[in-house]
């Protein structure tokens, strides 16, 4: 729960802290999806938890009884998405928070990954999220509001080699959510992009990674890169729910919400470098403006 001492500085008044929310969460079988579903249930909220296999989330039902609805969902199947979102809404009578969390990473250089690899990545990370959003919006409008969340990454602002296509899916994800936030504001619907840094979740497991066939020319580069990734300091995912709840309980949640202490310094550095380059080339850029007739 959000403590009184945490409220000041985040734009929260005690009267604005609302418990007993109803969540719809994709990818609830592992990683942040499981951590956040479990934490929401522990604080007394209700959760429609979804995963590709019911067995992977069956323990939620055993532990939390009627406060949780477990549903099988493959987000790459739009018809199933619509049915499941509507089923969850009918079951609880409303959906306060719709959290797109399902996703995976494609490991491979830009040259190595095939078009089919990239399409499959986007089917889950982008089109799967869009299917959930499109299924939820009519219901949220009818009930007079709601909060659409999406798990992105600090890689929605910066990139890394070898997982460039994954980064690209997060850049696309961020653009979609930013446009969405302006389009649905008049309906009382809030939108927030959650941007975690590196955390010790199952996201690095074989289930969360797909590998493109390798080319020998990149072998040494990828070996060095993967070694650096493995040595990266990672946050504790169990430390994130309190921050997440403070954000969703706010009357005015942010469009973008970093999780972790490493993101802001990295993004500051990246944007400072970009601004410096744009400014260095400003005169040349401006010379290409011309005058329309």
How far apart CA 151 and CA 192 sit, in angstroms, is: 9
Considering the candidates 165, 166, 177, 199, report the single residue annotated as catalytic. Answer: 166
CA terminus-to-terminus distance, the chain? 61
Catalytic annotation present for 269: no
In DSSP notation, 81-143 reads HHHHHHHHHHHHS--SEEEE----EEES-TTTS-HHHHHHHHIIIIIIHHHHHHHHHHHHHHH
- Among the options 21, 129, 168, 170, which is catalytic? 170
Q: Which of 29, 105, 152, 168 is catalytic?
A: 152
Q: Is 21 a catalytic residue?
A: no
Distances (CA, A) of 6 to 85, 205, 232, 253, 259: 33, 34, 29, 15, 16
User: Among candidates 113, 124, 199, which has minimal Cα distance to 154?
Assistant: 199
Residue 224 and residue 112: Cα distance in Å, rounded? 17
Residue 170 designated active-site: yes
Return the sign of the alpha-carbon dihedral for residues 179, 182, 186, 189: positive
Tokens in use for 157?
């602002």
Residues assigned a catalytic role = 152, 166, 170
């Amino acid at each position: 729960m959000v403590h009184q001492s945490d409220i000041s500085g985040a734009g929260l008044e005690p009267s604005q802290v609302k418990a007993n929310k109803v969540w719809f969460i994709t990818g609830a079988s592992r990683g942040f999806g499981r951590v956040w579903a479990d934490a929401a249930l522990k604080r007394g909220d209700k959760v429609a938890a979804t995963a590709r296999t019911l067995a992977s989330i069956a323990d939620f039902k055993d532990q939390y009884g009627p406060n949780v609805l477990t549903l099988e969902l493959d987000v790459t199947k739009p018809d199933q998405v619509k049915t499941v979102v509507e089923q969850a809404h009918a079951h609880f009578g409303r959906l306060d928070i719709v959290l797109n969390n399902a996703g995976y990473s494609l490991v491979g250089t830009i040259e190595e990954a095939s078009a089919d690899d990239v399409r499959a990545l986007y089917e889950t990370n982008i089109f799967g999220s869009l299917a959930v959003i499109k299924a939820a919006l009519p219901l949220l409008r009818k009930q007079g509001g709601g909060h659409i969340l999406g798990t992105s990454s600090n890689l929605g602002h910066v990139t890394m080699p070898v997982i460039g296509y994954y980064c690209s899916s997060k850049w696309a994800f961020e653009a979609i959510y930013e446009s969405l936030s302006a389009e649905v504001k008049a309906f009382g619907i809030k939108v927030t992009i959650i941007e975690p840094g590196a955390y010790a979740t199952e996201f690095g497991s074989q289930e969360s990674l797909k590998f493109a066939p390798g080319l020998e020319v990149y072998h040494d580069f990828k070996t060095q890169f993967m070694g650096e990734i493995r040595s990266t300091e990672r946050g504790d995912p169990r430390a994130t729910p309190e921050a997440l709840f403070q954000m969703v309980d706010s009357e005015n949640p942010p469009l973008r919400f970093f999780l972790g202490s490493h993101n802001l310094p990295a993004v500051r550095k990246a944007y400072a470098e970009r601004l410096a380059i744009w400014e260095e080339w400003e005169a040349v850029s401006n010379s290409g403006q011309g005058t329309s007739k």
